[in-house]
Amino acid sequence: MVRRHMPPRQTTLTPAMREKIARMPLREPPLNAVRAFAAAARHLSFTRAALELHVTHSAVSRQIKSLEEFLGVALFERRIRQVALTAEGQQFFAEVEPALAQIGAAARSLQLQGPARAVRINVRPSFAVRWLIPRLPSFVERYPDIEPQVVTSTVMPEQAIDSFDIAVRRGLDGWPPSIEVQPFLEDEVLVVGAPALFETHPLPDLRALASHVLLSAKTRKDDWDAWKKQVGAPRTRPAGRLQFDHLHFVLQAAVDGLGVALAPTSLVSHDLASGRLQSPLPALRMTLERYYYGLAPDAAPEAAYVAEWFEEMQAEGA
């Protein structure tokens, strides 16, 4: 028996049916998919869109595919290692981009009208003075509606009395189990002092340390002995020793020319760059435990922006 292939039956829309369809509410496209499309269209790259949105390449690809299925048109031409907008994609992007910008502007306008959102950042005093505060202007400029509150403490996060949203400490010890820590800055110590000091008392080699006053902090009183052992410094008695309660006092004493200090590179990068301090023996360094940061379990949502900013500072070597 031979079956005949009948042409598909066509449905004729009556005026009543057309009116019913016109009254049906239109579904809006998923906003996340539209954002993914706009980022990919702006960069003409799914990879760069993923970096901008802090998601994976496959997530961007899935979002755009779902948007194309929703719209019933192809928005991109997939080529080897690159993409290009179709005519429909160009039209959609031309209307979507300013709409997203308007949504963002409306949100920022409301945020500026409301009270500042605070985020408490718990750090040691030396880290606050020498690393965090000099860099905070870039965070405030980017997030003017977030108020960073710097809380200094010398105890580890698990012993902290005051609450915090995000904390920074050196090493993995002393963190409560409820906090998942993330690696942050790597660090080393090196000899530093004021340029004027080295003009009158040069420090060309290790033996010249005998003519200098060694500055140290109670919290890091063993650094000089550990450093001398690692670099093979001769056993000589220094011209003197001065000890302070905290490291930031030591670094200020070095800036003021009271002696030479062993300073973590993380805390003196601005002083070295500005010329306030110099390192006469830059190759003789000792590795320190790296820094880590962690968000409290009940951290304010704004803490995520601080963590993101930390990652950017680390990547830039700032």
Task: Please state the rounded mean pLDDT for residues 230-243.
Answer: 90
Write out pLDDT tens, residues 30-48.
Answer: 888 899 999 999 999 988 8
pLDDT tens, 150-178? 999 888 898 887 789 999 999 999 999 88
Would you place residue 28 in the very low, low, confident or very high pLDDT band (cuts 50, 70, 90)?
Answer: confident
Please give the order of strands across the beta sheet that includes 146-152: 146-152, 117-123, 166-170, 291-295, 181-183
Report field, pTM of the whole predicted structure over 0.85: no
Q: List phi, psi (to 5°) of 12.
A: -95, 125
Q: What is the pLDDT of residues 219-233, one digit of tens each?
A: 888 899 999 999 998
Higher pLDDT, 30 or 92: 92
Give the number of C-alpha atoms closer than 13 A to the C-alpha of residue 172, restricted to the C-beta side.
5
Instruction: Quote the CA–CA distance of 97 and 55 in Å, as a whole number.
Output: 20
Count the residues in the chain. Answer: 318
Return the pLDDT at 57: 85
Residue with tokens 């309660």: 245
pLDDT value of residue 112: 58
Bridge partners, 168 (sequence order):
293
State the residue for tokens 């992007």: 93
Res. 104 pLDDT band, cuts 50 70 90: confident
Q: Which of 3-7, 30-34, 76-80, 304-308 has the lowest mean pLDDT?
A: 3-7
Structure confidence at residue 10 (pLDDT): 41
Q: Provide the mean pLDDT of the chain.
A: 86
Q: How far apart are CA 171 and CA 149, in angstroms?
A: 23
Which pLDDT belongs to residue 20? 52
* Average of per-residue pLDDT across 236-254: 91
Q: What is the mean pLDDT of residues 111-137?
A: 84
Q: What is the DSSP string of 79-124?
A: ETTEEEE-HHHHHHHHHHHHHHHHHHHHHHHHHHHSPPEEEEEEE-
Tens-place pLDDT, residues 180-198? 899 999 999 999 999 999 9
**Rounded to whole angstroms, how far apart are CA atoms 38 and 251?**
48
